[in-house]
Amino acid sequence: MGYVYVGEAAGARIIRYGVGFGSVGDPYQLEVRYWDAYPFGQDGEGVVRELVAFIRHTAGYNVEVVPVVDGAELSASRFSGGGPPGGLTEELVECRAAVFQRCTRIGAIVRTVQVLGETEVVDVGYQPIVLRESP
């Protein structure tokens, strides 16, 4: 059995459903599962070229992006990099995972492979090509 955790945006706490909260201490692995999007409508169809995960980090990143096409997970793409350049305290990077699949719905899983510092999934987007839209 797993637990459901929610991160607090305005502080350094993680809340576990049904238990309460505690301070975040040691680094922890991150896994974000995005709800499926229906870019062509409920019965439409198209091609999704790629998923783009926007990752903010403070000391380097090591993540994988897994496209989920019509409920099926595709192969993971791994991305990594060092700390922010030029003495910056943080950096926003784009991790582009190729999809090139015909589908009705698209989702994503983004997870850390190794925690190097603060790592945040800012957003995930996709590039659709419409073949047939539904109302």
Domain boundaries, the chain: 27-132
Predicted confidence at residue 132, as pLDDT, reads: 87
Q: Containing H/E element for 127?
A: strand 119-132
pTM: 0.79
pLDDT mean for each 10 residues of the chain (135 residues): 65 61 61 91 92 93 96 96 92 95 95 88 91 81
- Encoded tokens for 126: 């996709």
Predicted confidence at residue 1, as pLDDT, reads: 52
Range 27-132 has CATH code 3.40.50: no
Answer for the pair 78, 95: CB distance below 8 angstroms, yes or no. Answer: no
Predicted confidence at residue 23, as pLDDT, reads: 47
